[in-house]
Structure 1
Amino acid sequence: MAEIRNRSRSKDIQSVPQSDDEEVTDIPGNPQLQDTKALPQGSDKTTEVLDTALKDLTPRWRNWIIRGIFTWLMIFGFFFLVYLGPLALVLTIFAIQIKCFHEIITIGYTVYKSYDLPWFRTLSWYFLFTSNYFFYGESLIEYFGVLLHRMEFLRYLVSYHRFISFSLYIAGFVGFVFSLVKKHYVKQFTLFGWTHVTLLIIVTQSHLIIHNVFEGLIWLLVPVSMIICNDIMAYMFGFFFGKTPLIQLSPKKTWEGFIGGAISTVFFGFLISYILVQFDYFVCPVTYDEASDNLSMDCIRHPVFILTEFGLPLVIQKFFSIFGLSWTTVKIYPFILHSISLSVFASVIGPFGGFFASGFKRAFKIKDFGDLIPGHGGIMDRFDCQFLMATFVNVYYASFIRAPNPQKIIQSVLLLTSEEQLHVFSMLKEKLIQNGILNETLS
């Protein structure tokens, strides 16, 4: 009987549908995969209807058409959100974060479901709430502190934000300790770690995306577009020309697709950067204008968004001279040069976010994280590279671009009491006089 059960269980595991870009190997005897069939397998009724309508085509072309249709729907949906403005984008990012968290936590819950662990899902969602309260609260205070302080009921939440956040987390920590059951210590601590790693990957990085939005829509639109371009072009080049396998985690990924996607992304980065940098709407940070009592996207442009003349290296000057051109300088927006770094990361390192996700799915024998998007899988299947890219953009901006923002400094000063503001004014006046910037008689 034991042999029959083992054979039956092995058959169930092997029958799990494999991903269209992965080759999942069997891992018999893994006690944690007792309910593999309950995991998301990336198919839904919409896909079934489209499969029926395209039944005369080969599976390869059928998948290509379905994937293409919903790729364009997502692209047009993204354009519409950009049209609606930064608030719509922030709310969308928040919704995406929740769905990604749900997809990963569901996998953990399903894998360990047979142990009937108490409070796992409740505590996971509680920790998601506390993490968002901390991170989003920090962002709102940094960018809109003056507005929040004007609302009496929010003033104490702003002043004691970190203490409240810590208290909320500790309450969850204590709740987890109370939920421990003697027979399931290892499983419960494994899931506790599972939840926190998910929070680190999803919440922390989505928080950085919000920061990118507030610094200017271009810091969201260009990186996101680069990842989309790289994903599409790598798929296209791989579909039509791919022959050489790239990485074992994703056997259908090819060097031809990887290189074709990278070259396409660099050229696309130049184009999209040049277009967006023309409009203040995309390059100005999102701030609160106290005079108009509204969000503002007007600014004095950062130097990277101002047309600048650069001297060409001597080697390039000699190259142009071969064709009778005497170019020694060129005018260009510095952001376009920075876009080269972004596009290289998007096309060379960005795909490793997808490879990481592929390894995760292979570990649990699932095709996709979910089945929300026909031809693509779940939300996490589409945003695995985006989260990694957003983190790089945030680090890159902080390291090479960010300059003191007078608007933020003024907001910080306005949060002080009247006496403290006068003290800041006196110190600033004294320093300006010492540096010869302000005439003492005029002051």
Structure 2
Amino acid sequence: YGASDTEPKSDLEVPEVPEVPVPAGDTPEVLNQVVSGLSSRWRDFWVRGILTLAMISGFFTSIYLGPMALMTIVLCVQIKCFHEIITIGYSVYHCYHLPWFRTLSWYFLLCVNYFLYGETLTDYFFTRVQREEPVRLLSQYHRFISFALYLAGFCMFVLSLVKRHYRLQFYMFGWTHVTLMILATQSHLIIRNLFEGMIWFIVPISCVICNDIMAYMFGFFFGRTPLIKLSPKKMWEGFIGGFFSTIVFGIILSYMMAGYPYFVCPVEFNDHSSSFMMDCEPSELFQLQDYGLPSVLQSITGRTTVTLYPFQIHSVALSSFASIMGPFGGFFASGFKRAFRIKDFANTIPGHGGFMDRFDCQYLMATFVNVYIGSFIRKPNPCKIIQQILALRPDQQLQIFNSIKAHLMERGLLPPLEEAAYLPEGRF
């Protein structure tokens, strides 16, 4: 490619990032007619509020449709958010007429999703995977196939390098991978949280939504003190009001959901009906227990104990994170938008911006929930361990059996047995 007037004179120079054009919002005509007589401040308030109610209604509908619908929506949102961020990068990259960036970006997204969803398929559908021969082979060599796919994309990137633009191309290569880390990995964690029980999916997401709404409401009506320069419209009054509102909301929502197996049971696939099921004996986490109240609260309420689901206590941690750390996902997104001098990632949702503007806090929350479950909640699953043992060769199964037997006998949990009762190979 020949040099142009906009081309940097050397590879060491970093060109100024041009302003990224974002298409104008497309507010439905019916909404324009409803709010036409209002000031711009109140017009934005009502448009934002009506669209928020529409999105919440869609969220509840997805919950009713079940886990498959929720997983599909998570994947669609991930793809749309990825498109919005990559489009911004492409607007800069395309100015220099360099090849393959957008194609390679989508290829890497495909590779990452193939790897992550393949891991989930093996973890949660192990029995079914082992039953189907082609799928079993794909599962056995899944990581090698994933690495080979990524390696092909890596080679394509190297072949696409253009003289005098190396630095810019490597910058965009990093752009793609950071986007993948933020979006693909986090959306995968959201789905893994869902498999632990729909309550681990619904409560964290609902807390982030509640905090966003209540922080906006408190900031809109009572806001006087700016919170952070990155987001001039964020107010301390909204931050504090959103925090307490979200704590109360999380406790109430957890109480309403904890009594239903549909929400609290792990999501498992039923081979006979070929569908997901949520049917189990609820764990202690979702059984009412009495807790003693501090003396201060006893004098106020006149009660010595309170009856709660243990999950409600965990919901306080989830709500606190959604209120305190969750907004930093929004601040991060605000800094990103300021770097490229744009108001929103897109104008897909009138009054809200793009999908990334709505879900910037959700991805940070997904990581916290996954780490929280792994640290404080999850225990080894005997069913999965047995499934994995049954997939081994008979000699390997026998070796595990003898190891467990010896371990239990040493601890006195299994009474000693006469050696004559066993064959030399260790069989009865």
TM normalised by structure 1 equals 0.87
Q: CA deviation at 1:310?
A: 3.0
- Is 1:45 paired with 2:13? no
Give the AA of the match of 1:174: C
For residue 187 of structure 1, what is the aligned residue in structure 2?
Answer: 168
- Equivalences for residues 108-127 of structure 1 within 5 A: 108-127=89-108
For residue 271 of structure 1, what is the aligned residue in structure 2?
Answer: 252
Contact 1:32 1:111 in 2 (8 A): no
For residue 11 of structure 2, what is the aligned residue in structure 1?
Answer: none
Measured in 1, the distance between the counterparts of 2:360 and 2:128 equals 34
Q: CA deviation at 1:156?
A: 1.0
For residue 232 of structure 1, what is the aligned residue in structure 2?
Answer: 213
RMSD between superposed Cα atoms in Å:
2.3
- Is 1:317 paired with 2:295? yes
Q: CA deviation at 1:399?
A: 0.9
Q: Percent identity?
A: 58
Contact 1:47 1:375 in 2 (8 A): no
Measured in 2, the distance between the counterparts of 1:311 and 1:103 equals 50
Q: CA deviation at 1:289?
A: 4.3
Q: 1:82 to 1:440 in 2, by over 3 A?
A: farther
Q: 1:134 aligns with which of 109, 115, 123?
A: 115
Q: 1:78 to 1:294 in 2, by over 3 A?
A: closer
Measured in 2, the distance between the counterparts of 1:286 and 1:414 equals 22
Measured in 1, the distance between the counterparts of 2:297 and 2:113 equals 54
- Is 1:158 paired with 2:134? no
- Is 1:431 paired with 2:407? yes
Give the AA of the match of 1:372: T
Q: CA deviation at 1:418?
A: 3.6
Q: 1:211 to 1:322 in 2, by over 3 A?
A: closer
- Equivalences for residues 164-183 of structure 1 within 5 A: 164-183=145-164
Give the AA of the match of 1:410: I
For residue 232 of structure 2, what is the aligned residue in structure 1?
Answer: 251
SS at match of 1:94: helix
For residue 100 of structure 1, what is the aligned residue in structure 2?
Answer: 81
Q: 2:356 aligns with which of 355, 380, 383?
A: 380
Q: 1:63 aligns with which of 44, 48, 65?
A: 44
Q: 1:221 aligns with which of 191, 202, 205?
A: 202
Q: Which runs of 5+ in 1 are unaligned?
A: 6-29
Measured in 2, the distance between the counterparts of 1:405 and 1:120 equals 43
Q: 1:299 to 1:431 in 2, by over 3 A?
A: farther
- Is 1:148 paired with 2:129? yes
Measured in 1, the distance between the counterparts of 2:414 and 2:59 equals 49
Q: 1:343 aligns with which of 304, 312, 319?
A: 319
For residue 332 of structure 1, what is the aligned residue in structure 2?
Answer: 308
Q: 1:46 to 1:293 in 2, by over 3 A?
A: closer
Measured in 1, the distance between the counterparts of 2:338 and 2:168 equals 21
Q: 1:77 to 1:434 in 2, by over 3 A?
A: same
For residue 33 of structure 1, what is the aligned residue in structure 2?
Answer: 17
Q: CA deviation at 1:434?
A: 4.2
Measured in 2, the distance between the counterparts of 1:377 and 1:138 equals 33
Q: 1:404 aligns with which of 380, 390, 400?
A: 380
Give the AA of the match of 1:188: Q
Cα-to-partner distance string for 1:294-353 (whole Å, 9 max, x where unaligned)? 5332233333222233344xxx23552466x361x4332111011111111111111111
Q: CA deviation at 1:421?
A: 3.0
Q: Which runs of 5+ in 2 are unaligned?
A: 6-13, 422-427
Measured in 2, the distance between the counterparts of 1:140 and 1:77 equals 27
Give the AA of the match of 2:298: F
SS at match of 1:33: coil
Contact 1:289 1:295 in 2 (8 A): yes
Contact 1:249 1:358 in 2 (8 A): yes
Q: CA deviation at 1:419?
A: 3.6
Cα-to-partner distance string for 1:399-443 (whole Å, 9 max, x where unaligned)? 111111122212222322344334333433443444444456799
Contact 1:216 1:282 in 2 (8 A): yes
Measured in 2, the distance between the counterparts of 1:310 and 1:184 equals 65
Q: 1:438 to 1:307 in 2, by over 3 A?
A: farther
For residue 364 of structure 1, what is the aligned residue in structure 2?
Answer: 340
Q: CA deviation at 1:47?
A: 4.9
Give the AA of the match of 2:359: F
Q: 1:357 to 1:406 in 2, by over 3 A?
A: same
Higher relative contact order (CA 8 A, sep 6+): 1
Q: 1:305 to 1:322 in 2, by over 3 A?
A: closer
TM normalised by structure 2 equals 0.90
Measured in 2, the distance between the counterparts of 1:345 and 1:389 equals 8
Measured in 2, the distance between the counterparts of 1:318 and 1:271 equals 22
Measured in 2, the distance between the counterparts of 1:238 and 1:381 equals 18
